[in-house]
Structure 1
Amino acid sequence: MTEHSRPLDVLILAAGQGTRMKSNLPKVLHPVAGRPMVAWAVKAAFELGARRTVVVTGHGAERVEAALAGSDVTFARQTQQLGTGHAFLCGAAALPQPEPGAGADILVLYGDTPLLRTETLRALVESHRTQGSAMTVLTGELPDATGYGRIVRGEGGEVERIVEQKDATPAERAIREFNSGVYVFDAQAPELAREIGNTNASGEYYLTDLLGLYHAQGAHVRAFRLDDPQEVLGANDRVGLTELERILQRRIQGEHLRAGVSLSLPETILIEDTVQLARDVTVEPGVILRGATRVAEGVTIGAYSVVTDSVIEEGVVIKPHSVLEGARVGAGSEVGPFARLRPGSVLAGGVHIGNFVETKNARLASGVKAGHLAYLGDVTIGEETNVGAGTIVANFDGVNKHQSTIGAGVFIGSNTTLLAPRVVGDAAFIAGGSAIHDDVPEGAMAVARGKQRNIGGWASRYWNSAGRREKLEQKLPWLAGWLRRQEKPGQ
């Protein structure tokens, strides 16, 4: 087995409590740009082609493991938080046992550092293998590295020691190269880690002590320096979490801009890492794009719209303040402004959904138009049907939801209520203001409203009744004046 063909295992340390987050949610589950922080480390491990990825859990272990269920990772529990060395041993116990004369390199990551690029980690592993190191430390350089462990280099540039801030001399504190806490070890690291002691003020087992154990064997310990130290930023509190989000948003948006997407005022836009945008998509200010959303070429997403887990095909116009969740919008359709497409909404090509129209589990064929103030729930609508303003498909009877079918070429007048389950045939007409409680045959006209009856003098009798006249004089003086004008002399 050559240096470059060795397998790579990844240990992700994610057992910490994160008390400074002041949250019931485990620290590593706080989301950044659409993923829990720990999921960014898992993503990087998969992109590196890791043979096995082990996530070491502790605080909130059940929730962390549930959040990563289905991710093809192995979990190891650290029931007592006894330091990074102890966490490493817990995770290493879940790795495949190395065969004689062969073994995998082990990359150690953390569940709260989502900014590390896969390209950086790949270069780190490559450097470790090319130089024949037993241990490689990922380092960075800052003008002021206060708070970090310092890298003390020895002969030939190898890492001689890692000195923590509290233990550093003034000369060592002036060192600008810091320890990120990310390491690559050779296959003997788990065995060596059993020799780590805890004779320190904290009584914990520190992973950095492996450096001395490797030196005792005469093995090489080297550093790989980051180009951008920002990549190893973590989040200890909500302020740090906000900073990570800001950096990742700039990174995500930059990738989309370079790929031909137009972002108006990008500082006001949020795009999660899982969203796919084709070229010539225009995203206006205030837009939020989440989840498994896929947007095809030439789409415009209007200001302050929110799109989650939806597919938007070519040339669609989403007008401002629209909300889409679990929807599919066919090519050339228009949605909004102020429209809401709820889960299960499927619009074919050339559909028009106007202002304050809501759809849920609705399938609309090509050319359907619902311009204003309608609710279309649990319904299939055929081609070229026109849905008038104020139409409601009343799909819920208080216990169950019911499915309705409306044919092609139907005209539904304004303020119609369809009491589901209903079937309306092709080319049918429904008179405005109807409450449809029976099916409508193909080509028929349905009228379902009571005959109008005008009762003269009703307003005078109503408002002149006991108790109403005094209130009328106080609150509606114009109506009181009208009533006085209606009274005959002598009344």
Structure 2
Amino acid sequence: MATALIILAAGQGTRMNSDLPKVLHKVAGAPLLHHAMAAGAALAPERVVVVAGHGAEAVEKAALAFDDTVATVRQDQQLGTGHAVAQALPALEGFEGTVIVLYGDTPFIRPETLDAMLVSGADVTVLGFQAADPGRYGRLIANGGALERIVEYKDATEAERAITLCNSGVVAVEARLLAELVGGLTNDNAAGEYYLTDIVAAARVRGLEARVVTCDEGETMGVNTRAELARAEAAFQTRARAEALETGVTMTAPETVFFALDTVVGRDATIGAHVVFGPGVTVESGAEILPFCHLEGCHISRGARVGPFARLRPGAELAEEVHVGNFVEIKNAILDEGVKVGHLTYLGDAHVGEHTNIGAGTVTCNYDGVMKHRTEIGAHAFIGSDTMLVAPVRVGARALTGSGSVITEDVPDGALAIGRARQVTKPGLAVRLFEKLKQMKARRDKGSE
């Protein structure tokens, strides 16, 4: 069944009290818009159209960052959901199939729910939910699964407001019919807007069938305020933690672990307390992340061990059985099998060969103030503690650097490199120096009385 998506993302979101467009506020490290796009992407749609308005350039950039094949259109005047859909229809010209209208600020609708809408068999399918507190939601006037009409809260009678079956706004309609129904909308209502919901009544007038597909209220959670954004984050994390445990991930304190939208963790991986996943992280089966680590844009292979208190930044690639210890930061660096980086180290723009040991306090000095430079370290090398590797530089296989060295030149395979000043010892000078300093302090303290 051919499917297309229209994702409405034009709203300003004034209640967010923000200069940022509402759909670009983040849950689980990703814009709300990306959550909606991800749910729709599971249907493998032939076309996707994102309708932007407030902050259109930023919204369009975000949409294309998720999927560079999407079409973007603009709703320059905010005249209602029906008007927004009308702006998208030209981008669907020639498409034959079902169109699903989604909302960029409604992040949690499941692909399974959208599948159910596609197979409802009705001419117009609306996604509804039973609300614990219906509030100002539009009400679905239905008889069994058959939908008679949708009434917006502003236009509803007291009896209609007592109904708890509410409208999510998500609809599925055949493309040609959608164009016809939207083309006939008017703004004769309390808000003076073109309501997409009015297509139900219009379809019924034509003798067409409209039906309701229901889902859990949590799926329809919209985000309009900072408080709702925080609740959405909590809801996502609760679900992500449960899914991770269900798929075989061990978490010692799951309530303290935070996942991103695209986090992938393999079975039998172990995640310690207070671990935060930014976007773009894959942890393979059997790897272990110890407490208080922050990971983003990295890949951790089977059997690797990270932390505690480690930070992996974008471009960090850890092969099997790599050990990255406490207070280590890795950025845009490849660590081959069996590499050990125990503690207090920064490796940036580097490649470290297999089974090399990196001593405490090692730093790849990769930035000259203008450009980044790479460090290459061969297999089975030993980098002594407190080594400064001034890139671009290469340390060969089975080479050794002396502790406290500043390495500015390439080190051949198997060589020992020492780059530090010779130690000078002055017998008795420490005692005399401290005595002099104490006398100076005593005179200063007496003068201040």
| TM-score, normalization by structure 2 | 0.91
Give yes or no for the alignment of 1:193 onto 2:182: yes
- Separation (CA, whole Å) in 1 of partners of 2:379 and 2:126: 63
* Pairing 1:60-209 to 2, within 5 Å after superposition: 60-69=55-64, 71=67, 72-97=69-94, 103-127=96-120, 130=121, 133-154=122-143, 157-186=145-174, 187-209=176-198
Change (3 A) 1:329 1:458: closer
Q: Distance in 2 between matches of 1:458 and 1:160?
A: 93
Aligned AA for 2:112?
E
Match of 1:391 among 387, 393, 404: 387
- 1:374 pairs, out of 335, 350, 362, with 362
State the distance in 2 between where 1:199 and 1:458 align. 91
Aligned match of 1:452: 424
Distance 1:111 1:475, change over 3 A: farther
DSSP-derived class of the 2:44 partner = coil
**Equivalent in 302, 305, 320 of residue 314 of structure 1:** 302
User: Is residue 154–residue 190 contact of structure 2 (8 Å, CA) maintained in 1?
Assistant: no
How many angstroms apart in 2 are the aligned matches of 1:371 and 1:297? 28
**1:175-198 CA-partner distances (Å, limit 9, x unpaired):** 111111111122222122122111
Question: What runs of 5+ residues in structure 1 fail to find an aligned partner?
Answer: 396-402, 436-448, 477-491
Query: In 2 relative to 1, CA 461–384 (structure 1 residues): closer, same or farther, beyond 3 Å?
Result: closer
- Give, as a single letter, the amino acid of the residue that structure 1 aligns with 2:204: H
Q: Residues 463 and 472 of structure 1 are in contact (CA less than 8 Å); yes or no, is this contact kept in structure 2?
A: no
| 2:35 and 2:261 in contact (8 A); partners too | no
Q: Distance in 2 between matches of 1:184 and 1:159?
A: 13
Of 214, 219, 222, 2:208 maps to 219
Residue correspondences, number: 434
SS of equivalent residue, structure 2 residue 149: strand
2:37 equivalent among 38, 42, 56: 42
SS at match of 1:338: strand
Of structures 1 and 2, the larger Rg is shown by 1
Residue identity opposite 1:386 in structure 2: F
In the other structure, the counterpart of 1:256 is 244
Contact 1:41 / 1:114 at 8 angstroms: preserved in 2? yes
Q: Which of 342, 349, 354 is the matching residue for 2:337? A: 349
Residue 362 of structure 1: SS of its match in structure 2?
Answer: strand
Shift of 1:255: 1.9
Q: Secondary structure at the match of 1:250?
A: helix
Deviation at 1:473, TM superposition (A): 4.5
- Distance, in Å, in 1 between the alignment partners of 2:358 and 2:382 is 6
Q: Which runs of 4+ in 1 moved over 4 A?
A: 455-465, 472-476
Kept after mapping to 2: 8 A contact 1:406/1:423: yes
| Percent identity of paired positions between Structure 1 and Structure 2 | 35
- Of 288-297 and 235-244, deviating more is 288-297
Structure 2 residue matching 1:249: 3-state secondary structure = helix
Any conservation in 1 of the 2:407–2:417 contact (CA below 8 Å)? no
Give the AA of the match of 1:9: A
Shift of 1:254: 1.9
- Residues 124 and 451 of structure 1: CA distance in aligned 2, closer, same or farther (over 3 Å): closer
Tell which deviates more after alignment, 8-17 or 292-301. 292-301
Amino acid at match of 1:82: L
Gaps of 5+ in 2: 366-373
1:424 corresponds to 2:421: no
**Counterpart residue type for residue 417 of structure 2:** I
Aligned to 1:471: 441
The residue number in structure 2 matching 1:33 is 28
Q: CA deviation at 1:211?
A: 1.8
Q: Does 1:229 align with 2:229?
A: no
Q: What TM-score, normalized to structure 1?
A: 0.83
Q: For 1:298 and 1:16, how far apart are their aligned partners in 2?
A: 44
Counterpart-to-counterpart distance in 2, 1:252 and 1:311: 19
Contact 2:139 2:153 in 1 (8 A): yes
